[in-house]
Structure 1
Amino acid sequence: MLKNLQSLALLSPIVLLAASAPAQAFDIKRPEVRSFIETMTRDHGFEKAKLEALLKSAETRQPILDAISRPAERVVPWHEYRDRFLTEKRINQGADFWLAHGEKLKQIPDPQLADVVVGILGVETSFGRITGRYKVLDALVTLGFDYPPRGAFFLSELQEFLLLSREEKVDPASALGSYAGAMGAAQFISSSYRKWAVDGDGDGHRDLWNSWDDVVASIANYLTDHGWVNGQQVVVNATLNDPDMSRFDVKLALNETVQSLRDKGVRFETELPPDAPAMLIVAQGKEGPVYRVGFNNFYVITRYNRSPMYAMAVHDLGEAIQNFMMDAER
């Protein structure tokens, strides 16, 4: 996936205001634009006149450039980050989502994976409530041609978007998404959409804007294809015998095993074998460091968004929703 996907949810008021800001007509006579048009007509069979008309309808939006260039905000401590998502409102929304789409969620082979899918939808877009209001075409044209640091990447995504539009009968002139071109409740970028989206409702199209069956099945497919192991733990709480961190290389990688962490004085409960890959996670709690141990499935969640805090929030939200539903049934 592209970018820190949770940023859409965290910055949504800024995004919504920026989306209405003035735009600039896109100049298709620029040499780099002509080259792109030639490539798409030659290599992918697009009709030149129609492609020119489509690109000419696009608008370069300064707020998109401002958003992607904005200096990083202060690093939010874990306890604040968690509190943004583990709210009563979002947990209730998640329970409502389960009630509405439980039959599709129950088709996922691993109940724990179903909880993670729900957690992702809650963290990403509040279950489809915040999906972005930029035209995807504007976002990708702006970033592809006027954002040199990552222009090549976004030009590739523009190409993928045009191919996706043709394949899935999506109107490329009106499809909406985030300022970086992420789309639908799942916030897939175009290349991820083409590679991992699936037709969950059997209507012959993969629609991540309007079909919740497609959304649920596509997120599950993404995680499965990235190595999810059914029935395996995701993450557990841990404590340290010694607070000295010099013996650990804490990074987003399965660079330890269950046994190696225990040998270094990390205490945690798991039924996984001693040689199971693992990682130590250190986060900032209200009263000091918080330690967890993540396993393969935790790492898989970070392939959706490369952030340990994101993966913990997804896991915790999915678990909280499930616990809330179980308590309500008692």
Structure 2
Amino acid sequence: MRSCFKFRRKNLNLYFGIFLFLSSFSICWGHHTQLSPKAQENMRDFISSLSAKYNFDRSYLERIFAKVRPQRKALNLIRPSKTDKSQTITWDHYRKLFVNKDNIDKGKRFISTYMLSLEKAHKKYGVPPEVIAAIIGIETKYGKNQGKFPVFDTLATLAFERSDRENFFREELEAFILLCLEQGLSINKIKGSYAGALGIPQFMPSSWRTFAVDFDQSGKTNLLTSPKDAIGSVANYLKKHGWDKNIPTHSVAKPEPGSNAKQFFTYELQAEYRYNDLQKGGFKDPLNKIPAYLDVSLVDLKLRNNKIIYWLATENFFAITKYNRSYKYAAAVLELSEALKGKSAP
């Protein structure tokens, strides 16, 4: 990875010149950005930093940023109000959004079409085909819905306006610019999610540059139109974030009366407790999927009837939460993956 980055950096100026030449036809003229005055000040500081860091021509950078279109909808979505009902959606409702007949049928067709690549990824990274397919299905309906937000404008808005995560999005904006240079992508034509994620697996730009793999051996990583590259990249991402082919993902926990669930929760998205200790604390695995020596944490999935389902979550479960920091997301991925194997009904 280090030697690859050195190669990239040596060639960034060449890429930058080509990129600006190709981009100039569509962004050379027009009104200036409608970002707020403070955001424009932040943008100028960013341009100065980027120019100094990579020896880019400042005037060229200013031309690229001159027509940034503020994405107010993305800004509102990234910082939802405290009364936003989506933040309190229950597990049974959330599950139906993703574990349904349409996703299962399309997922099985996706697996059938790309079984060779999925098996190759399973062999290399240890991630089962159904888990890879489930993530791609939940993220983009197996590549069909990659988002409608212009990625450059979206990342610039979130980086320079008050998104509450400005530093994160400035890093992603920088990564996106470098990604476009390296991949020969048109910076103002790529669309993605309201958070700036893009491609079939909805990688953030920095994740693309770090974890994407050329699984179809085309000579570059193409997450926009290559399902094979997406398959390999998702598997590589999970592997790099702790996926272990030798352990289960989870099991349902059956609590005994009077047991205290909170003592086995995690706030670090990791398996922190020996399962044997959870057994002693009143949380047992009726399916006997979890070995006594394995580390797990307790995950609570709340239902509309105010009941709670508890899962014993292993490091594989938490590897999925590194993709999307949500227990419900990881649970939906695993429920959909089970359905794709034909082991459960939608």
Which residue identity lines up with residue 143 of structure 1 in the other structure? L
1:16 matched residue in structure 2: none
Show the counterpart of 2:299: 281
Distance 2:309 2:91 in 1: 9
Alignment-derived partner of residue 195 in structure 2: 180
Q: Report what 2:92 is aligned to.
A: 79
178 and 239 in structure 1: CA distance in 2 versus 1, 3 angstrom threshold: same
Q: CA deviation at 1:212?
A: 0.7
1:61 matched to 2:67? The reply is no
| Structure 1 counterpart SS, 2:302 | strand
The letter of the residue matching 2:294 is A
SS in 2 for 1:161: helix
Give the secondary-structure state (helix, strand or coil) at the position aligned to 2:263.
coil
Counterpart pick for 1:105 among 118, 128, 132 = 118
Say which SS state the counterpart of residue 239 (structure 1) adopts: strand
For 1:192, the equivalent position in structure 2 comes to 207
Q: Identity of paired residues, percent?
A: 29
Residue 5 of structure 1 is matched in structure 2 by none
- The match for 2:61 is 51
* TM-score, normalised with respect to structure 2: 0.81
What SS class does the counterpart of residue 279 from structure 1 fall into? Answer: strand
Residue of structure 1 in register with 2:22 after alignment:
none
Q: Name the structure 1 match of 2:16.
A: none
Letter in 2 for 1:26: T
Counterparts of 2:311 and 2:96 in 1: how far apart (Å)? 17
1:77-103 deviation digits (Å, cap 9, x = unpaired):
111111111111110010111121111
Amino acid at match of 1:299: F
Q: Which runs of 5+ in 2 are unaligned?
A: 1-30
Q: Does the aligned pair in 2 maintain the 1:112–1:231 contact within 8 Å?
A: no
- Which residue number corresponds to residue 228 of structure 2? 213
Distance 2:255 2:261 in 1: 13
Q: Is the 8 A contact 1:255 1:277 kept in 2?
A: yes
**One of 29, 33, 40 as aligned partner of 1:26:** 33
Partner of 2:24: none
Secondary structure at 1:38 match in 2 = helix
TM-score (norm 1): 0.84
Q: Which residue of 2 aligns with 1:262?
A: 279
Q: Residues 243, 289 of structure 1: CA spacing in aligned structure 2 closer, same or farther, 3 A cutoff?
A: farther
- CA contact 1:25–1:60 (8 Å) conserved in 2: no
Counterparts in 2 of 1:1-330, with a 5 A limit?
Answer: 25-26=32-33, 30-71=40-81, 72-73=84-85, 74-109=87-122, 113-147=128-162, 149-245=164-260, 248-251=263-266, 252-268=269-285, 269-270=287-288, 272-285=290-303, 288-323=307-342
Q: What secondary structure is seen at the aligned counterpart in 2 of 1:310?
A: helix
C-alpha spacing 1:131/1:25, structure 2 compared with 1 (3 Å): farther
Please give the root-mean-square deviation of Cα atoms over the aligned residues, in Å: 2.4
Inter-partner Cα distance in structure 2 for 1:223 and 1:270: 25
Say how many residue pairs are matched. Answer: 303
Using CA pairs under 8 Å that are at least 6 residues apart, name the structure with larger relative contact order, 1 or 2.
1
CA drift of 1:27 comes to 6.2
Shift of 1:106: 0.8
Counterpart code for 1:256: Y
Pick closer, same or farther for the CA change 1:307–1:69 going to 2, 3 Å. Answer: closer
Contact 1:95/1:321 (<8 A) preserved: yes
